[in-house]
Structure 1
Amino acid sequence: MSLQDNVDNLVNMGFDASVARDALSRADNNIEAAVNFIYSDFSADLPPYSENGESGPLGPAGPTGAAGAGGIVADGRSASTAIEIEDDIKNKIASYGYGHDNPVVDLDSDQSKSEIVPTYEVYDDISRYTRAEGDPGVLLPVKAELLEGYFAPLLMTLSNIPAFRDLVLKPEFEDYGYSELWWKKDKCVSNPSVVMETQRLVAFLCGDSFRAFASIRSLIDASSKLMTDDYQSVAEFIQFIYSSLIELFAKTDESLKRPFEQLFTSRFRFEDDETQTHCIFPVESNYFYKDIYRIMHSLLWGKDMGRLGQHQFLELSDVLTVSFEGNGDTVPGGGFELTEEFYPQIYTSKHEHMVADKFRRISELRDEVSKINGQTIQLKAFKGKRVSALLDTTLSHLSSLGEDERVQSAAKELESIANHILDCKTRNTEKLTALNKERSDIDIYNINYILGDQKAEFEPWVLTGVIFNERQFWYRLEEKWYAFNYTLEIGKDFEISQTTFDNIVSQVREYSADNFETGMVLIYVKKSLITTDSPIINKNLQKFIDTDNQKVANGVALHKLNEQQEEQEGQIVLSDQ
């Protein structure tokens, strides 16, 4: 049948036309393989399927690696997971003439099918299950282009902050349950809470877990009932995450409310004494500037600094999150210049004078320059006549009148006036040079200039995370920076690599100046909170980690044993031949 015929058939079976067409394209117009593609997708909007086909403690034990894991075998059937298509769907497929009884395709015919390249699924690659020594744990988003995907990079970044980690791990549940596929999709308990699933993932990330990666799906499922709003931006979604964490952990343990608020919530005062709280600072395109201080100056004090001294922070949160709202606009002037340290204290009522005094001096200098320029203009001209030219002409005329004593006396007075004017001009030029030099030295966006010799007395907020989107981000773990890249559209995979801050600076500059499509999220953390203390995990949660570690070890050992047996069997066959 033609592609359109099969699309129509799948539509008649209840599938969306765009979903059907995409699946058939991926399956080379094989309708059964297309249905397998649809049912192996994580989308919660698709019809239910049977999950009884999972095999082994760590998932299917079929072919692994980029060529075998999560792909399509030669006859077009799915090899990604052991998903069983429901009988009514099978019968419907059979009625269209597809299934295991298909006639053999003539490979010499023009209608022969091309070989289907299998898609790689890291979930099916047992060789990737064990975390390499020194590598951080990884959370995988479920799908691309979803705001929920920001759960993964955000939670991974926050888990490296001991203050956040310790607050999350403080509550203790009697039973965290266990499922052999918790890291992929299954619930460990029948009705998990957001607090429990956040603890589970944080313990997996920063505890002594052997497992290399896990899906963020458990946390998304647990929080799905809370996501009642239609979030329009990354900033709105992150605001929801922070607010939910504060509220839900406070319900679990009231003593956690204030520490969580201190972690995420800043208080801000307006000129009319109105106060607001902020967990995240969204930056729209009309506030895109080349560095963080120019942006924050404009957000708080206005582009003309007209609100300086009127708007200020009353309380700074320990975690400061800034979100650039990407909509196709880029950062002018060559892109954004990332800074590893940020000093937000200059925006507080206590220290804003350090900027205000310098900005006031700029106004004073402007007035002084204007006054001197006015004086200079008066010295140069009078009633539209150039004074110097008039004096020169008059002196020349007087010198032509001879040696008359009164004429010579007048000439001397005029020469004195001319010299005085010249001296005034010279002094004004010197004053202007000094004033312009002082003005050029005043940089109200340069933190080194603003703080001066007092800089050592201030504690910086240190950059710990840079998120481009749910598929590409960096975070700081102790003194090292790690880069993360996810493949989510076709198959599932991830890459981790160590990088340098200079490399991140370069990529941010290039991205923000050229293609700032999804914007960017910056996470700054108070430096004193970045420690190397080991996490304290309660005994019940540790039991979950220990159980999972044993499952990982058993599954990997079994996989290696099977590989050895297959290799031995292959050697025996070769020797017999």
Structure 2
Amino acid sequence: MSSNDNITKLVEMGFSRPQAEKALQITNNDVEEAIAYLFEEPIEVSGPDSNEKQQDTVTVSNPQDIPRFDVSSGNLDGNKKERESGTSSGSSSSPDEYEMWYENNTLEHQRNNFAAFLNEKRSGNYPAIIPQTSCYLENYYIPILTALSCVEKFQETCLKPLKHNAQIEWNTEDKSYKIVFKDAEQIPDVSNYTFCAYLQIYLGFLNGLSEGAYISADGLIKNVPSNVREVLQDGIDGVDEFVPKLYECFCSTISSVHGESTIVNDLFKSSVESANDEVINNIFTIDVDSEYYARTIYDSFNELFWGADLEMLGNVRLIKGAEILTVLFASEEETYNSTSFVLDEVFHPEIYSSKYADLLIEMNRAKEGLHLERGEITKEIMRMNSFDGKRIKGLLDSTISYLGGQGRDTKDLEDISESIAESRERLTEKLTAVNEQYASLDVCSVDNVLQFIKNSDMDPPSAYLLIGVVMSDTDFYYRSRSGSWVHQKGSYSARNDLVSMCVEEIDFNSVQQHLSSYTQSLSRPFSLIYARESLLGKSVTSSNEFVKAFFEHDNDLVKDKSTISVHEQSDEVISDPMISDSDHRST
């Protein structure tokens, strides 16, 4: 048996890896001798420096200790520009004041440079929504909407015809446009309808209906619904506070316009309960604070739902999981991280639900029973290895050698030694089998859990596919409808001008490597968006006549525009096309 196999066997018995390695080295890789050595002469292995910072853990003993599944303070992306000045883009309550604030904070040279990007015709398969400026909370509509565009159910819900007809007013001079409703006075909250009309156009754009490479995010940013403006006005400080509110407001907006409250709530709302305390929280994101941050999403959820020592197993659980699950790995500050994050493309969040809670409790109890059996076998091996502080094998061997040297009969002693060796071998084989079964019952291993569920004849948990990885409002990855991965990243100057925009197709291994590098050494914030696999599907924009008509007209305008390569534009180049103070440029 290889040295690594023997090390694994000793580690499974409860010894540390350094102890196992040293014991096998001393006993020339004899696992039985190593076991005897470890039980008779424990090896002291120096631990980490007492001054080294250790990660805290939480022991739950009462309801107030249950992890909070709601928004918490913090800043997910270093979003400081508007916060340090004490000004938020949501500081105005009316749409006109809001748009005025946005225009006043977008300098003229920024609008001129930005227009050059919007003139570029699309040559690849992945059009991009781009913001004029970075580090505004509202910009998070962009990565979220881009990621959600591959979800067929989301598209079907958002692209239903509006009850009030939206009309496009085109500006023939600068070829910009705005959406209006002729019966606006009869609409209780016209901002909801305006936002949903822009949302339909953006979904059409992401589905490739435009011949332009880019579209300005102004349609979303300047026309966020009134409920979002109110949230921003209340003083939201960071992304981990804003994104749950964004989803909540999004649900209420879509429900008021399309009357699909059940559908949108199923898409985005989850419910978490503490069974023992009969407490239920409805949430739109799951927040993983720094104390629960671990190497993978499963390790993080294990700590969050079950506790560090499984003390909450079966108590804190999902009773309803959203079909689109957004997980915010928040951090109040960039703290030291001993390991990089390993990204899972497939996730099974339902294993943390009430549906499988009793089964997992049964699985863990079976493991605890095997733990006792392992202890009894180990004690029996110890008794065969030593007596009265002396090693039996060594004592027998030396006695047989001595008596044999005296010409005396040693057959009985040899039979005893052989019998002990055979018994010890049987016990070691039995311990190996028990250890394998013990390891297979570890509920912290998703593979073990899925196999245990399969063996129990229960329906397997739904698979969720990763559709978005968000580092910031201008740096994110998303899954396209074809299944390939796309990286979109904008670079901005010190003056907050858009300098370059990268939109490239990459493989998932590259996404994993990029996130691993991003989280290496430092525990940095990011967001993961997962969607139930069955929801992903084809584009449905072709059935929306409003969207089709818009892009038929807009593409005629695109053909008339001169193509300007963004790579040839310096930071100081000023081009003729401009974004109007009141209108939104389409491409």
TM-score interval for Structure 1 and Structure 2 normalised by the shorter chain = 0.5 to 0.7
How do 1:239-388 and structure 2 match up within 5 A?
239-254=244-259, 256-272=260-276, 273-326=278-331, 327-329=333-335, 331-333=337-339, 335-352=340-357, 355-377=360-382
Alpha-carbon spacing, 1:160–1:422, altered in 2? closer, same or farther (3 Å): closer
Q: CA deviation at 1:300?
A: 0.9
Q: CA deviation at 1:213?
A: 1.9
Separation (CA, whole Å) in 2 of partners of 1:364 and 1:274: 31
Number of the residue aligned with 1:189: 180
Whether contact under 8 Å (1:144, 1:471) holds in the other structure is: yes
Q: CA deviation at 1:155?
A: 1.0
Separation (CA, whole Å) in 2 of partners of 1:392 and 1:205: 79
1:44 alignment partner, one of 95, 101, 126: 101
Separation (CA, whole Å) in 1 of partners of 2:135 and 2:250: 23
Give the paired residue count.
445
Q: CA deviation at 1:525?
A: 1.0
Greater Cα radius of gyration, structure 1 or 2: 1
2:520 alignment partner, one of 513, 516, 540: 513
2:474 alignment partner, one of 467, 471, 475: 471
Number of the residue aligned with 2:168: 177
1:124 alignment partner, one of 116, 122, 129: 116
Separation (CA, whole Å) in 1 of partners of 2:170 and 2:107: 17
Separation (CA, whole Å) in 1 of partners of 2:345 and 2:470: 14
Alpha-carbon spacing, 1:258–1:126, altered in 2? closer, same or farther (3 Å): closer
Q: CA deviation at 1:499?
A: 0.8
Q: Which has the higher contact order (CA 8 A, sep 6+)?
A: 2
AA of the residue aligned to 2:519: S
Separation (CA, whole Å) in 1 of partners of 2:445 and 2:105: 58
Q: CA deviation at 1:371?
A: 2.3
Q: TM-score, normalised by structure 1?
A: 0.66
Q: Which is worse superposed, 368-377 or 301-310? A: 368-377
1:486 alignment partner, one of 471, 487, 490: 490
Alpha-carbon spacing, 1:451–1:50, altered in 2? closer, same or farther (3 Å): closer
Alpha-carbon spacing, 1:450–1:321, altered in 2? closer, same or farther (3 Å): same
Separation (CA, whole Å) in 1 of partners of 2:398 and 2:528: 69
Number of the residue aligned with 1:502: 509
Percent identical pairs in the alignment equals: 24
Q: Which is worse superposed, 244-253 or 220-229? A: 220-229
Q: CA deviation at 1:187?
A: 4.7
CA deviation profile, 1:378-403 (whole Å, cap 9, x unmatched): 5666777878899999999999xxx9
1:157 alignment partner, one of 133, 141, 147: 147
1:206 is aligned to 2:207:
yes
CA deviation profile, 1:264-317 (whole Å, cap 9, x unmatched): 112222122322222211112222222221111111111111111223222221
AA of the residue aligned to 2:282: T
RMSD: 4.3
Alpha-carbon spacing, 1:289–1:188, altered in 2? closer, same or farther (3 Å): same
How do 1:529-540 and structure 2 match up within 5 A?
529-540=535-546
Separation (CA, whole Å) in 2 of partners of 1:176 and 1:161: 27
Alpha-carbon spacing, 1:219–1:419, altered in 2? closer, same or farther (3 Å): same
Alpha-carbon spacing, 1:313–1:186, altered in 2? closer, same or farther (3 Å): same
Secondary structure at the aligned position of 1:528 is classed as: helix
Alpha-carbon spacing, 1:428–1:208, altered in 2? closer, same or farther (3 Å): same
Q: TM-score, normalised by structure 2?
A: 0.65
Alpha-carbon spacing, 1:287–1:147, altered in 2? closer, same or farther (3 Å): same
Whether contact under 8 Å (2:203, 2:541) holds in the other structure is: no
Alpha-carbon spacing, 1:48–1:148, altered in 2? closer, same or farther (3 Å): closer
Alpha-carbon spacing, 1:450–1:182, altered in 2? closer, same or farther (3 Å): farther
Alpha-carbon spacing, 1:49–1:359, altered in 2? closer, same or farther (3 Å): closer
Separation (CA, whole Å) in 2 of partners of 1:236 and 1:284: 12
Whether contact under 8 Å (1:141, 1:149) holds in the other structure is: yes
Whether contact under 8 Å (2:467, 2:531) holds in the other structure is: yes
Number of the residue aligned with 1:101: none
Secondary structure at the aligned position of 2:167 is classed as: coil
Q: CA deviation at 1:161?
A: 1.3
2:130 alignment partner, one of 137, 140, 145: 140
Secondary structure at the aligned position of 1:290 is classed as: coil
Separation (CA, whole Å) in 1 of partners of 2:473 and 2:250: 20
CA deviation profile, 1:114-144 (whole Å, cap 9, x unmatched): xxxxxxx24225651x333x52331112422
Whether contact under 8 Å (2:175, 2:557) holds in the other structure is: no
AA of the residue aligned to 1:258: T
Alpha-carbon spacing, 1:280–1:390, altered in 2? closer, same or farther (3 Å): same
AA of the residue aligned to 2:434: L
Consecutive unaligned residues of structure 1, counting only runs of 5 or more, are: 1-15, 20-41, 52-69, 72-79, 82-120, 560-577
Whether contact under 8 Å (1:183, 1:215) holds in the other structure is: no
Alpha-carbon spacing, 1:386–1:461, altered in 2? closer, same or farther (3 Å): closer
Q: CA deviation at 1:468?
A: 1.2
Separation (CA, whole Å) in 2 of partners of 1:287 and 1:423: 47
AA of the residue aligned to 1:520: F
Separation (CA, whole Å) in 2 of partners of 1:270 and 1:281: 15
Separation (CA, whole Å) in 1 of partners of 2:426 and 2:460: 40
Whether contact under 8 Å (1:207, 1:537) holds in the other structure is: no
Alpha-carbon spacing, 1:392–1:214, altered in 2? closer, same or farther (3 Å): closer
AA of the residue aligned to 1:124: A
Separation (CA, whole Å) in 2 of partners of 1:528 and 1:475: 17
Alpha-carbon spacing, 1:529–1:213, altered in 2? closer, same or farther (3 Å): same
Whether contact under 8 Å (1:233, 1:325) holds in the other structure is: no
